[in-house]
């Protein structure tokens, strides 16, 4: 449904610009690469298009790439200087305010303005899609769910082609807030409407991950590989999910095969959002004691080549994983020292990443380094106080589980049996099907001399892994 068709006027935008804008939105909703060209085509055809300029600003921010964001800020700044706010619609003014807030580093402020916008204009699909990603970057499960849920009641045309991707977003919000069955049902509706709705596919994939249904997850992804496995912005991340299933199934060859072919290789583009998946997978393998050859070295080199400044704490933690994994502890320490220096310069309340870094990013980075130094009691000291707040630095439950597992491993290795038992008890009751949890439970039982309980837990892990392994074999 186009902006025009929905009665959403676009200042300074001619017919050709509007046509490109609609194509850009369609590409954005389905994570297709042509979104960037289409957005540029809007402003080429209509240089005064407010929505075209706003869209270009958002696209410069959605990749969490500092340098792209800086270019987007420059370009939008020039446009903004010549813009008469009185001459544009209230909807466009809210978009301008949201884009300016985010360009200035205020993700929460941008998310709030987009929320106001969605209340007044629930058909504005750009406000919903961008707001949804902001909720993801700020790890806000409730807003991930309610921002979209609050708009869906106004999307009563069931044949509207953009209603499907909204259902995919809603499914992800439902999943992150723990409504797994409902999330799966809504996500499947989205994928039924548009088989190439990779965000909808991703939402369903998360529901399997969180319920330990990795055999179902493997089958679900295998059955529709043509729709998600290449040619979109989310394919690396969905391959990461596939690798998580394979890891739970105990198929290390498959995990490394996916890593080498999809997650990180010589042809990888080196985007932060892709490198972090590679880091997160190798870190899980490191925690489990698997040798991953020279993969850490290549990955750490890719992170180092980016020379990132303090921009997004969630990315920082994954860069530190790579440095620590590769044994480049001096580089990891350097990143931490740089972020500490920036925080010391002064409090910047309007910059979301400031608090993210101070409260979550730095403790996590320090813990990852301490883990590699085998200072497990220190890891516990750093992570235990923030383990219920990790969401504040963004990402999904599944992504942050790499950090939660670091705490479990550290508690086990530090001999903190009380804490390890508590953490594992939480985990096995929340997700009874998860070989990782049961194997860790078995190791704890070994340490406290309960051989019978260890054997039971190992048998349970083996049985659960076998089902996933069978699904992989039939793939
Ligand atoms: Fe995910």
Rounded to the nearest angstrom, the distance between the alpha carbon of 264 and the centre of ligand 1 is 17
Rounded to the nearest angstrom, the distance between the alpha carbon of 241 and the centre of ligand 1 is 7
Rounded to the nearest angstrom, the distance between the alpha carbon of 204 and the centre of ligand 1 is 10
Rounded to the nearest angstrom, the distance between the alpha carbon of 343 and the centre of ligand 1 is 30
pLDDT value at 7 more than 80? no
pLDDT value at 410 more than 80? yes
Which of 48-70 are b and which e, b meaning 16 or more Cβ less than 10 Å from the residue's Cβ?
A: ebbbbbbbbbbbbbbebbbebbe
pLDDT value at 37 more than 50? yes
The per-residue pLDDT for 348 is 72
Rounded to the nearest angstrom, the distance between the alpha carbon of 452 and the centre of ligand 1 is 36
Could you give the CA distance from residue 5 to residue 3 in angstroms, rounded to a whole number?
6
Rounded to the nearest angstrom, the distance between the alpha carbon of 439 and the centre of ligand 1 is 24
Q: Nearest 5 degrees, angle CA 74-CA 76-CA 80?
A: 120
Q: For residue range 331-355, list pLDDT tens digits in order.
A: 999 999 999 999 988 767 789 999 9
Rounded to the nearest angstrom, the distance between the alpha carbon of 31 and the centre of ligand 1 is 14
pLDDT value at 426 more than 60? yes
Rounded to the nearest angstrom, the distance between the alpha carbon of 277 and the centre of ligand 1 is 9
pLDDT value at 4 more than 80? no
Rounded to the nearest angstrom, the distance between the alpha carbon of 329 and the centre of ligand 1 is 28
Spatial neighbors of 291 by CB under 8 A, at least 6 apart, are: none
Rounded to the nearest angstrom, the distance between the alpha carbon of 441 and the centre of ligand 1 is 26
Which of 379-389 are b and which e, b meaning 16 or more Cβ less than 10 Å from the residue's Cβ?
A: bbbbbbebeee
For tokens 């020039």, name the residue.
78
Local confidence band at 6 (pLDDT 50, 70, 90 cut-offs): low
Rounded to the nearest angstrom, the distance between the alpha carbon of 58 and the centre of ligand 1 is 21
Answer yes or no: pTM beyond 0.75. yes
Q: Nearest 5 degrees, angle CA 279-CA 316-CA 323?
A: 50
Could you give the CA distance from residue 36 to residue 32 in angstroms, rounded to a whole number?
9
Question: What residue ranges define each of the domains in the chain, with the CATH number in brackets?
Answer: 1-131 (1.25.40), 139-263 (1.25.40.10), 415-473 (no CATH)
Check if the beta carbon of residue 39 is closer than 8 Å to that of residue 55.
yes
Rounded to the nearest angstrom, the distance between the alpha carbon of 121 and the centre of ligand 1 is 28
Nearest in space to 53 (alpha carbons), one of 84, 77, 25, 32 = 77
Rounded to the nearest angstrom, the distance between the alpha carbon of 436 and the centre of ligand 1 is 19
Residue 127, number of CB atoms within 10 A of its CB: 28
Rounded to the nearest angstrom, the distance between the alpha carbon of 99 and the centre of ligand 1 is 25
Rounded to the nearest angstrom, the distance between the alpha carbon of 207 and the centre of ligand 1 is 10
φ/ψ region of 340 (left if φ > 0, alpha if ψ in -120 to 50, else beta) reads alpha
Rounded to the nearest angstrom, the distance between the alpha carbon of 226 and the centre of ligand 1 is 19
Nearest in space to 279 (alpha carbons), one of 254, 307, 259, 308 = 259
Rounded to the nearest angstrom, the distance between the alpha carbon of 427 and the centre of ligand 1 is 19
Rounded to the nearest angstrom, the distance between the alpha carbon of 287 and the centre of ligand 1 is 20
CA 385 distance to own-chain centroid: 23
Rounded to the nearest angstrom, the distance between the alpha carbon of 89 and the centre of ligand 1 is 36
Could you give the CA distance from residue 192 to residue 466 in angstroms, rounded to a whole number?
30
Local confidence band at 1 (pLDDT 50, 70, 90 cut-offs): very low
pLDDT value at 360 more than 50? yes
3-state secondary structure the chain: CCCCCCCCCCCCCCHHHHHHHHHHHHHHHCCCCCHHHHHHHHHHHCCCCHHHHHHHHHHHHHCCCHHHHHHHHHHHHHHHHCCCHHHCCHHHHHHHHHHHHHHCCCHHHHHHHHHHHHHHCCCCHHHHHHHHHHHHHCCCHHHHHHHHHHHHCCCCCCCCCCHHHHHHHHHHHHHHCCCHHHHHHHHHHHHHHCCCCHHHHHHHHHHHHHCCCHHHHHHHHHHCHHHHCCCCCCHHHHHHHHHHHHHHCCCHHHHHHHHHHHHCCCCCCCCHHHHHHHHHHHHHHHHCCCCCCCHHHHHHHHHHHHCCCCCCHHHHHHHHHHHHHCCCHHHHHHHHHHHHHHHHHCCCCCCHHHHHHHHHHHHHHHHHHHHHCCCHHHHHHHHHHHCCCHHHHCCCHHHHHHHHHHHHHHHHHCCCHHHHHHHHHHHHHHCCCCHHHHHHHHHHHHHCCCHHHHHHHHHHHHHHHHHHHHHHHCC
Could you give the CA distance from residue 436 to residue 427 in angstroms, rounded to a whole number?
10
Rounded to the nearest angstrom, the distance between the alpha carbon of 135 and the centre of ligand 1 is 14
pLDDT value at 86 more than 90? yes
Could you give the CA distance from residue 304 to residue 307 in angstroms, rounded to a whole number?
6
Residues surrounding ion ligand 1 at CB below 5 Å: 396
Rounded to the nearest angstrom, the distance between the alpha carbon of 237 and the centre of ligand 1 is 6
Q: For residue range 229-266, list pLDDT tens digits in order.
A: 998 999 999 999 999 999 999 999 999 999 999 999 99
Rounded to the nearest angstrom, the distance between the alpha carbon of 234 and the centre of ligand 1 is 9
Rounded to the nearest angstrom, the distance between the alpha carbon of 462 and the centre of ligand 1 is 25
Rounded to the nearest angstrom, the distance between the alpha carbon of 199 and the centre of ligand 1 is 9
pLDDT value at 159 more than 90? no
Rounded to the nearest angstrom, the distance between the alpha carbon of 238 and the centre of ligand 1 is 7
Local confidence band at 431 (pLDDT 50, 70, 90 cut-offs): very high
Rounded to the nearest angstrom, the distance between the alpha carbon of 271 and the centre of ligand 1 is 16
- What the block records as the tokens of 73 is 């800020």
Q: For residue range 269-310, list pLDDT tens digits in order.
A: 999 999 999 999 999 999 999 999 999 999 999 999 999 999
Rounded to the nearest angstrom, the distance between the alpha carbon of 170 and the centre of ligand 1 is 14
Rounded to the nearest angstrom, the distance between the alpha carbon of 125 and the centre of ligand 1 is 22
- What the block records as the tokens of 211 is 């319920």
pLDDT value at 470 more than 90? no
Rounded to the nearest angstrom, the distance between the alpha carbon of 10 and the centre of ligand 1 is 34
- What the block records as the tokens of 235 is 């394919």
């Amino acid at each position: 449904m186009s902006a025009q068709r929905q009665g959403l006027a676009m200042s300074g935008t001619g017919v050709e610009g509007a046509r490109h804008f609609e194509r850009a939105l369609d590409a954005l909703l389905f994570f297709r690469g042509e979104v960037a060209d289409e957005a540029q085509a809007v402003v080429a055809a209509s240089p005064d298009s407010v929505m075209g300029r706003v869209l270009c600003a958002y696209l410069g921010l959605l990749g969490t790439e500092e340098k792209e964001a800086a270019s987007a800020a420059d370009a939008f700044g020039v446009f903004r200087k010549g813009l008469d706010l009185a001459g544009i619609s209230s909807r466009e003014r809210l978009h301008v305010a949201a884009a300016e807030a985010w360009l200035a580093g205020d993700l929460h402020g941008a998310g709030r303005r987009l929320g106001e916008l969605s209340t007044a204009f629930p058909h504005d699909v750009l406000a919903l899609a961008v707001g949804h990603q902001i909720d993801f970057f700020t790890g806000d499960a409730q807003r991930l769910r309610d921002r979209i849920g609050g708009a869906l009641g106004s999307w009563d045309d069931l044949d509207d082609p953009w209603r499907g991707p909204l259902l995919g977003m809603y499914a992800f919000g439902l999943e992150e807030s723990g409504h797994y069955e409902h999330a799966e049902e809504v996500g499947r509706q989205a994928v039924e409407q548009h088989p190439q709705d990779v965000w909808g596919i991703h939402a369903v994939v998360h529901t399997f991950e969180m319920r330990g249904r990795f055999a179902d997850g493997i089958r679900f992804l295998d059955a529709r590989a043509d729709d998600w496995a290449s040619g979109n912005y989310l394919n690396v991340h969905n391959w990461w999910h596939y690798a998580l299933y394979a890891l739970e199934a105990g198929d290390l060859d498959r995990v490394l095969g996916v890593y080498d072919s999809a997650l990180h290789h010589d042809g990888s583009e080196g985007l932060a959002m892709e490198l972090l998946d590679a880091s997160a997978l190798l870190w899980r393998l490191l925690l489990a004691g698997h040798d991953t050859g020279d993969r850490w070295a290549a990955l750490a080199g890719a992170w180092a080549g980016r020379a990132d400044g303090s921009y997004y704490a969630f990315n920082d933690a994954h860069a530190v994983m790579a440095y620590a994994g590769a044994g480049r502890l001096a580089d990891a320490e350097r990143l931490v020292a740089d972020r500490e220096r920036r925080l010391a310069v002064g409090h910047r309340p309007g910059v979301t990443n400031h608090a993210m870094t101070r409260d979550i990013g730095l403790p996590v980075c320090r813990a990852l380094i301490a883990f590699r130094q085998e200072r497990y009691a220190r890891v516990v000291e750093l992570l235990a106080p923030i383990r219920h707040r990790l969401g504040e630095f963004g990402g999904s439950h599944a992504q942050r589980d790499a950090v939660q597992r670091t705490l479990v491993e550290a508690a086990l290795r530090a001999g903190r049996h009380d804490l390890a038992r508590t953490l594992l008890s939480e985990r096995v009751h929340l997700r009874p099907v998860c070989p990782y949890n049961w194997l860790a439970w078995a190791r704890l039982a070994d340490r406290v001399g309960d051989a019978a309980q260890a054997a039971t837990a190992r048998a349970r892990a083996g049985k659960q892994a076998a089902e996933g392994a069978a699904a992989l074999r039939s793939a």
